[in-house]
Amino acid sequence: MRYDDLLEPKQQKSDSVKAKRGVYEKEPGSGIWWIRYADTSGRIRREKVGKKQKAIDLYSMRKTDVLYGKKFPESMRVSNIKFEELTKDTLEYSKTHKASYRMDKSRMAVIVKEFGQRPAASITPQDIEKWFAHDFSEHSPATVNRYRALLSLVFRQGIRNRKVAANPARLVKQRPESRGRVRWLQADEETRLRAVMEAHYPHRIPELDLALNTGIRRGEQYAMTWDSVDFERRQLHIMHTKNGEDKYVPLNDTAMAALRTAKQFSTGEAAVFTNRHGEALQSSRQWFNRALTLAKITDFRWHDLRHTFASKLTMLGANLRTVQQLMGHKTLAMTVRYSHLSSAHQQDAVQLLCGAKPAVQSEPTSTTTDTNAETAVETKSARIQ
């Protein structure tokens, strides 16, 4: 015998009216029932339940809780929001505030494929860990950490927008990463690379020179527009760096010459570096890897030009704090990887034990010692016509 059969006719009718008001199918015919009610503060709350009878029972329970003034957890109010909705907000934020938007967009597609249709509030740290263990078993710890960071950003934005109440990615431990290799361009390698570029890619030499003399990231370099270049003050204004902060990059003579050469070939568009059709370049892939192959340079990436910038500065005597600022590292720990390249100050320190006087170190901030570098680069560009 059903519970409804034990009720008086008048009571059955009353409960039926209540069920029609607060119990409903969001998608008619789906068999999945929801409840809708006002809490003690008058806020409308919705909950996905499942079977109709369970929805009716839960609706009655919630009405009783409201009657006795019970407070409900915030997560109940937003439990029906799908994870995919949160990712849209995050990509809008990334597009405006991050230099890594294109990479975020690519990674987000992978994340949405896994979690997109799930209610955001239903995703647990265990769900994320299982996904990493299953789908990222052959990926590096750094790759896993990048996906974790993006997932965490999705939930942080959701919390800011009051669409979720918690961030499960925060409870997923970061994978321990190695401090990373320090691979820089050796003198003979740079000689071979420049010879290849003179022969095959002379119009790309300014891109190489700018990277070697500023240490900016590839994404930052190819997102540059002319309004971010201040020729008078000799500096670049990099907005929305990897650390989320603006950065002002000083320009030495070689970097200035590289930008002036690029300006000669500019089509007047906003982008600093363009292809032969005047379209903004997205990266250096169109020529860099091929140039490395022709120059017989192995195990080298564009990002290693950034290492070359820092390595040369360190070997020429620049202190680590200065290198940190020029590289845009958030902490000095990121810069310490270059410390072994500067043994001069360590040698001077231990020599003090022998009665030597402290040495005075210079702190050059340029990776070039050629005072005629600007003239040399401009002379090269004249042959590109």
Question: Is there a single domain that holds both residue 211 and residue 241?
Answer: yes
197, part of any domain: yes
45, part of any domain: yes
The enclosing domain of 290 has a CATH number of 1.10.443.10
Return the closest-CA partner of residue 66 out of 47, 86, 46, 42. Answer: 42
Calculate mean pLDDT across residues 377-381.
41
Return the closest-CA partner of residue 125 out of 103, 157, 155. Answer: 155
pLDDT bracket for residue 124 (50, 70, 90): very high
Question: Is there a single domain that holds both residue 194 and residue 164?
Answer: no
Please state the pTM of the whole predicted model.
0.53
Take residue 109 and report the two structure tokens written for it.
């597609």
Q: Residue 160: which domain range?
A: 83-171
pLDDT of residue 133: 94
Question: Is there a single domain that holds both residue 90 and residue 205?
Answer: no
Question: Is there a single domain that holds both residue 166 and residue 266?
Answer: no
Q: DSSP assignment of 106-132, as one string? A: HHHHHHHHHHTTSBGGG--HHHHHHHH
pLDDT at 164 over 90: no
Question: Is there a single domain that holds both residue 257 and residue 310?
Answer: yes
pLDDT of residue 96: 86
Question: Is there a single domain that holds both residue 48 and residue 143?
Answer: no
| pLDDT tens readout for residues 24-69 | 998 888 888 888 888 777 777 888 888 888 888 888 888 888 888 7
pLDDT at 288 over 90: yes
Q: Which residue among 48, 72, 96 closes a domain?
A: 72
Strand order, beta sheet including 235-238:
229-230, 235-238, 247-250
pLDDT at 77 over 60: no
pLDDT at 19 over 50: no
Question: 């995919």: which residue's tokens?
Answer: 84
pLDDT of residue 145: 93
Calculate mean pLDDT across residues 156-160.
92
Q: Which is higher by pLDDT, 162 or 339? A: 162
Q: Which residue among 49, 72, 95 closes a domain?
A: 72
Which of 111-115, 221-225, 240-244, 367-371 has maximum average pLDDT?
111-115
pLDDT at 366 over 60: no
Which of 8-22, 54-68, 93-107, 290-304 has maximum average pLDDT?
290-304
181, part of any domain: no
Question: Is there a single domain that holds both residue 238 and residue 364?
Answer: yes
176, part of any domain: no
pLDDT at 256 over 90: yes
Q: Please, what is the angle between helix 83-97 and helix 141-160, to 10°?
A: 100
Question: 């029932």: which residue's tokens?
Answer: 33
Q: Which is higher by pLDDT, 12 or 152? A: 152
Question: Is there a single domain that holds both residue 290 and residue 247?
Answer: yes
Calculate mean pLDDT across residues 333-356.
72
Q: By percentage, how much of the chain surpasses pLDDT 70?
A: 79
Reduce the DSSP state of residue 49 to 3 states and report it. strand
pLDDT of residue 354: 84
pLDDT at 153 over 70: yes
pLDDT bracket for residue 155 (50, 70, 90): very high
Question: Is there a single domain that holds both residue 205 and residue 293?
Answer: yes
Structural domain count of the chain:
3
pLDDT of residue 343: 61
Question: Is there a single domain that holds both residue 346 and residue 216?
Answer: yes
pLDDT at 121 over 50: yes
Question: Is there a single domain that holds both residue 62 and residue 103?
Answer: no
Question: How many whole angstroms from its chain centre is CA 60?
Answer: 47
Q: Which residue among 171, 196, 222 closes a domain?
A: 171
The rounded mean pLDDT for the chain is 80
| pLDDT tens readout for residues 300-342 | 999 899 999 988 888 888 888 998 889 888 888 788 877 766 6
322, part of any domain: yes
180, part of any domain: no
Q: Which is higher by pLDDT, 357 or 214? A: 214
The enclosing domain of 147 has a CATH number of 1.10.150
267, part of any domain: yes
Question: Is there a single domain that holds both residue 50 and residue 93?
Answer: no
pLDDT at 182 over 80: no
239, part of any domain: yes
pLDDT of residue 268: 60
